[in-house]
């Protein structure tokens, strides 16, 4: 009889949810983070894991990717937010700006996404100029007369290069050779000396950049000057930034450049209390978030509440920032 009673008690304990308290409601949220295996998927997964561990009453999952006709994960995530197919989403600040204002490539996607609301930004995704050490490329102007990869059509790398070329009033004829390779293909071409310079727009540290530096004699070149200052001044979604010294072996100095920011957005239809709880959980557990992904290690609250945010703040985010004196 005694053994049977113990068995009943153990059965009840095993069946009971350990993370919930009696009467506590758990709200399931979905983050639109793009296709599985992509960088944004990893960022979203890190945030979800943080929320599942630290945010009481929230259970987080990544929304299925549904890019459709959208040319970029960021725009797909923004469309999902605007259509209430996800509660929160990740989008690079240039696409965030295009979608909210109905400009740039987004003007062909059906007009402004007026339901999108800003929460905060994460880290920078700088325009990175990678050059062979034996190519004599010490600054941006040294690219003229060299073999350069400008990236695939419609890619982030290509859009960045085209911005730089327009500001410098360059054409393809200013280069000895122009290639249009993907990020994956350009590394092999670089290591084989088919191209002497290539551009990468993304987060740091990056394994591909690290391999090029360690194995193929690559270095990083400053992207600066008056033309770059004009690019940034004319585009609110871009920010001057530096790649920290020591990010890559053998490059002890900071590398100056510019780039976009990864932003976190929501919909105007998501409740004030839910957004408040989401933002609070992220900001009050920032040390843990920084440790969760190498791209997050330099997150700073003062920058997170302003960099790259075009859409109006969600009222729930604004409520938290005002409480904490961040805005």
Domains of the chain in start order, with CATH, are: 28-124+261-324 (3.40.190.10), 125-260 (3.40.190.10)
Regarding pTM above 0.75, the answer is yes
Site of tokens 């327009």: 166
Q: Give pLDDT tens digits for 210-255.
A: 999 999 999 999 999 999 999 999 999 999 999 999 999 999 999 9
Residues 6+ positions from 307 with CB-CB distance below 8 Å: 93, 121, 124, 239, 261
Question: Rounded CA gap, 101 and 113, in Å?
Answer: 8
pLDDT confidence band for 71 (50 / 70 / 90): low
Q: Which of 219, 213, 312 is nearest to 263 (CA)?
A: 312
Neighbours of 133 (CB within 10 A): 12
Question: Rounded CA gap, 285 and 180, in Å?
Answer: 42
Question: Rounded CA gap, 154 and 105, in Å?
Answer: 9
Beta bridge partners, 239, equal 259
Question: Rounded CA gap, 16 and 142, in Å?
Answer: 66
Q: Which of 148, 128, 135 is nearest to 195 (CA)?
A: 148
Q: Give pLDDT tens digits for 17-36.
A: 334 444 467 889 999 998 88
Structure tokens, 223: 């992207």
Question: Rounded CA gap, 289 and 48, in Å?
Answer: 10
CA atoms within 13 A on the CB side of 218: 30
- The conformation of residue 296, written as its DSSP 8-state character, comes to G
Q: What is the pLDDT of residue 10?
A: 37
Is residue 285 reached through a cis peptide bond, with omega within 30 degrees of 0 on the bond before it? no
pLDDT confidence band for 68 (50 / 70 / 90): low
pLDDT confidence band for 42 (50 / 70 / 90): very high
Q: What is the pLDDT of residue 12?
A: 37
pLDDT confidence band for 308 (50 / 70 / 90): very high
Q: Give pLDDT tens digits for 172-190.
A: 999 999 999 988 899 999 9
Q: What is the pLDDT of residue 226?
A: 94
Q: Which of 98, 93, 126 is nearest to 113 (CA)?
A: 98
Q: Which of 124, 103, 107 is nearest to 235 (CA)?
A: 103
Q: What is the pLDDT of residue 24?
A: 60
pLDDT confidence band for 312 (50 / 70 / 90): very high
Site of tokens 């490329």: 137
Q: What is the pLDDT of residue 34?
A: 84
Are 281 and 107 in contact by the 8 Å Cβ rule? The answer is no
Q: What is the pLDDT of residue 47?
A: 96
Q: What is the pLDDT of residue 5?
A: 42
Q: Give pLDDT tens digits for 107-161.
A: 776 778 899 999 999 999 999 999 999 999 999 999 999 999 999 887 878 888 9
**Is the confidence at residue 14, as pLDDT, over 60?**
no
The alpha-carbon radius of gyration of the chain (Å, integer) is 23
Across all residues in the chain, what is the average pLDDT? 88
**Is the confidence at residue 288, as pLDDT, over 50?**
yes
Q: What is the pLDDT of residue 156?
A: 79
pLDDT confidence band for 37 (50 / 70 / 90): confident
Are 238 and 192 in contact by the 8 Å Cβ rule? The answer is no
Query: Which is more confidently placed, 9 or 205?
Result: 205
Beta bridge partners, 307, equal none
Question: Rounded CA gap, 10 and 326, in Å?
Answer: 48
């Amino acid at each position: 009889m005694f053994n049977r009673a113990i068995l009943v008690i153990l059965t009840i304990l095993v069946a009971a949810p350990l993370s919930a308290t009696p009467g506590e409601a758990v709200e399931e949220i979905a983050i639109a983070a793009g296709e599985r295996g992509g960088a944004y998927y990893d960022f979203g997964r890190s945030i979800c894991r943080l929320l599942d561990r630290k945010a009481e009453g929230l259970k987080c999952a990544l929304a299925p990717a549904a890019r459709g006709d959208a040319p970029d994960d960021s725009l797909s995530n923004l469309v999902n937010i605007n259509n209430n197919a996800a509660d929160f989403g990740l989008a690079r600040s240039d696409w965030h700006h295009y979608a909210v204002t109905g400009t740039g490539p987004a003007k062909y996607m059906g007009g402004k996404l007026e339901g999108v609301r800003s929460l905060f930004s994460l880290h920078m995704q700088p325009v990175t100029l990678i050059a062979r050490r034996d190519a004599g490329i010490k600054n941006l102007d040294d690219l003229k007369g060299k073999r350069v990869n400008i990236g695939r059509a419609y890619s982030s790398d290509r859009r960045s290069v085209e911005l730089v070329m327009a500001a410098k009033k360059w054409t393809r004829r200013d280069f000895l050779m122009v290639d249009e390779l993907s990020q994956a293909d350009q590394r092999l071409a670089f290591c084989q000396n088919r191209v002497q310079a290539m551009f990468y727009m993304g987060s740091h540290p990056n394994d591909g950049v690290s391999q090029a530096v360690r194995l193929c004699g690559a270095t990083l070149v400053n992207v600066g000057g008056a033309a770059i200052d004009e690019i940034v001044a004319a585009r609110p979604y871009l920010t001057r930034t530096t790649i920290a010294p020591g990010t890559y072996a053998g490059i002890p100095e900071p590398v100056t450049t510019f780039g976009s920011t990864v932003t976190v957005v929501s919909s105007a239809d998501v409740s004030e209390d839910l957004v408040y709880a989401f933002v609070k959980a992220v900001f009050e557990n920032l040390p843990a978030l920084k440790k969760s992904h190498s791209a997050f290690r330099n997150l700073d609250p003062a920058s997170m509440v302003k960099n790259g945010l075009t859409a109006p703040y969600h009222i729930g985010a604004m409520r938290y920032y005002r409480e904490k004196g961040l805005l």
